Chain A
Amino acid sequence: MSEAVVPDAMVSPAVGGLYGEKAGGPMLDFSYVGIDAILEQMRRKAMKQGFELNIMVVGQSGLGKSTLMNTLFKSKVSRKSVLATAQEKIPKTVEIKSISHDIEEKGVRMKLTVIDTPGFGDQINNENCWQPIMKFINDQYEAYLQEEININRKKRIPDSRVHCCIYFIPPTGHCLRPLDVEFMRRLSKVVNIVPVIAKADTLTLEERDFFKKKIREELRANGIDVYPQKEFDEDAEDRMINEKIREMIPFAVVGSDQEYQVNGRRLLGRKTKWGTIEVENIAHCEFAYLRDLLIRTHMQNIKDITSSIHYEMYRVRRLNENNTMVAHANGIPEHHLTAHEM
């Protein structure tokens, strides 16, 4: 499937009309049919429809999840900014709080939903703290499935499936904690996980590299496949780009929603007594890479993988379950059923 996000350059006024005369040349090219104009059509349609993106943030309290969301989308989209009573008390169980916003940029509308999970990993006993999250993700798939198998279904099914889960790793500098491994192992099978090192201004550059290497080793050793997953690379070009990304994960990010004046420019950053950390400066932290991955280059890819792979897996599993349940109810043994399906 080709990318639906078309960079502006391609739709420059090289195309005069809808049927594509080549730019600059007064001559008509007889071999030119004009198939590429479909891109323009798709683009227009997409602009009208708008996009949806559902991001879930998971991590211990105090790791800067809400701030990072605000920084990513340069608007106050996080739960803390919206809820007036943003209490900082740690809830006893993991709660799921979902907040939606409509953002617009250059005529493109996006419905962004940020799903927050306060209480994750904060208790003394964190066993099974991932269960509410798994349940939520599966519930969203279920809702979509129900809409899909409806006889009279809507033209555009509202997509509330979680496209991407950003997992915040505390910057200990040593290695992953057992909780991190457990969570990522379970959830990488149902959703795209993007691990990030939170509050990375604690680590010097050497410490950061060491930490990242350690994390990558551990992810490999535990068989955890985070986004971009190796098995879903489509062609060599994809693989090349994704390899470069895979060598950089997890991204060491710093979030900030305050602006400071640095060298005459106003930048987002954090000001300390020994210097100012610029959030968008790639020499300081890797926030820019994360933003590019999530928004500028791979957003559609993330959505595609969610719908075509994770969702499909869920669907297959559910429908099989349904069938076996129906079969048991009717007294038909299972193997008859599967043979019939084939």
Chain B
Amino acid sequence: MQYPYAMRDLPLMSHSGEQHQRPGHYGAEGIGSPINGRHLSLPGTPSLVRTIPFHPRGSPAVPPRHNHMGLDPEFQQLPLRRQIVSQVSLDSPLSPSMRPRSPWGRFDPYDSPEDQDKEYVGFATLPNQVHRKTVKKGFTFTLIVAGESGLGKSTLINSLFLTDLYKDRKVLNAEERISRTVAIIKHTVGIEEKGVKLRLTIIDTPGFGDAVNNTESWRHIDDYIDQQFEQYFRDESGLNRRNIQDNRVHCCLYFISPFGHGLRPLDVDCMRALHEKVNIIPVLAKADSLTPAEVCRKKMKIREEIKQFGINIYQFPECDSDEDEDFKTQEQILKNSIPFAVIGSNVQVESKGRKFRGRVYPWGVVEVENPAHSDFLLLRNMLVRTHMQDLKDVTREIHYENYRAQCIQNMTRMVVLERKRSLREKYRDGSEADFPLPLAVADTEKERLIYEKDEELRKMQEVLERIQEQMQHSHRGGC
């Protein structure tokens, strides 16, 4: 699994030994509070035999920190190193040979042979530290799936994350569906792989697009996303911000039916309603009903229509020019595969001596993970291995900020209106009480005047300050 922070590939340290996982051992939250993120709760942290030859002029002023994990006492000398850097200013750089090794020895960026002779401060290990801290905290990811029923959404989700979220699902028959509205169902599952925790939340929307009249189908989804933003906004503005739960929706997988000729009116309207609030990734479902030529044609048609209707689907971030060629071609392939033509299956089949997940038809066997058959692998890699962090970032920086700005604007507008209204009432009441505030009638004008006056004052203050400085300078110069 690729680490979210790209690490340079470094030669293994010989004594780092085998990395073993500590299965499911994440009591980190329970065992005290993280101190500078130095809890070594990650598996496979090798027990290194290191020496810290470098000592400052005095004795180590910091007593060895008590590590209640009971690990090697050598690790306790880390705070010492930090102390060293702060005491010793950059006048006397750390000499390479006497530089203490980092405990995360495997990925120590300073360990390559060519770095041995240069002199470094040592902060290139910052990504390591952040990495460790966030990995310990675990990741969350919220995904919403939308699309008509019968497009294989649940099968695909189960295949993507290798879980069985929909074990006890009951599919309603047509009569029951007539009176139902779109429901929002949340499934949360904790997955762990190689020591990294992921709390995955899948939000399902059964009933979407099923009714005879579907004009309000996406409203529930819209409301739900807004609710999550609102919740986060409130939490963020609250007093205790330590344990904010981030339930914002990071990504929406929109399933397009392969049986139509491109996008249906319902698809267009729904995506247009949601594209400013969530990252939309269109997916062409049940792609095993299409021949390769049809897949191509449909993808082009859908891409055209997306452009035509002005739907802002999730855009992959542009590659920096210093990325390697492989990465760039991968990104290009990804961009050309939208919408991803996927096939999902949780059934293991055996064919030609191999076992794989697939679907058995009388005329052949479809392999889910074969890139020639479907884009499933592409989608999974994109979603989980390469772009999960980017999806979260875009949600946080763009969608949430848009929501927040709008919210604040609305709030201030409401406050102003409220004030006006209450003032107008007072005025109309005709009470003889004094008006502490200016009359409501010309409120906006007054506000503008006040603002202008404020600006003037500020400018005058600046000028005054400058004059004062000059006077002082000349005074000092004079003396």
Contact = CB atoms under 8 A, between A and B. Distances in A.
Nearest to A63: B259
Contacts of A146: none
Nearest to B367: A274
Interface string B366-404: 110000110000000000000000000000000000000
Interface string B272-305: 0000000000000010111110000000000000
Contacts of A284: 362-363
Interface stretch (A15-23, A195-203, A296-304, A311-319): A195-203
Interface in A172-199: 172-182, 198-199
B261 interface: yes
B359 A204 contact: yes
B145 to A, nearest CB: 15
A239 B120 CA distance: 92
Contact of B174 (A60, A126, A176, A272): A176
Interface residues on chain B, size class: 35 or more
Interface string A87-110: 010100000000000000000000
A23 to B, nearest CB: 44
B150 A90 contact: no
A238 interface: no
Contacts of A173: 150
Given A172-B151, A274-B373, A181 B214 contact: no
A33 B286 CA distance: 63
A176 B361 CA distance: 23
Contacts, number: 125
Nearest to A170: B259
Contacts of A182: 212
Contact of B291 (A61, A63, A202, A270): A270
A123 B148 CA distance: 14
Most B CB atoms within 10 A — which of A60, A180, A182, A273? A273
B365 interface: yes
Do most interface residues of chain B lie in helix, strand or loop, or is the interface mixed?
A: loop
A61 B259 CA distance: 8
Contacts of B151: 172
B174 A175 contact: yes
Do most interface residues of chain A lie in helix, strand or loop, or is the interface mixed?
A: loop
Given A172-B151, A201-B361, A179 B212 contact: yes
A125 interface: yes
Interface stretch (A45-53, A214-222, A227-235): A214-222
A124 B273 CA distance: 14
A111 interface: no
B364 interface: yes
A342 B214 CA distance: 50
Interface stretch (A133-141, A147-155, A275-283, A325-333): A275-283
Contacts of A64: 259
Given A199-B289, A284-B363, A90 B212 contact: no
Interface residues on chain A, size class: 35 or more
B372 A178 contact: no
Contacts of B262: 88
Interface stretch (B29-37, B263-271, B438-446): B263-271
Contacts of B289: 171, 199, 201-202
10 closest residue pairs by CB, A with B: A172-B150, A275-B364, A274-B364, A275-B363, A202-B289, A62-B260, A88-B261, A181-B174, A178-B178, A176-B174
13 contacts: A61-B261, A90-B265, A123-B265, A125-B214, A125-B215, A172-B148, A172-B150, A174-B171, A180-B174, A181-B174, A214-B173, A222-B174, A284-B362
Interface of B: 148-151, 171-175, 177-178, 210-215, 217, 257-262, 264-266, 269, 286, 288-292, 359-367, 372-373
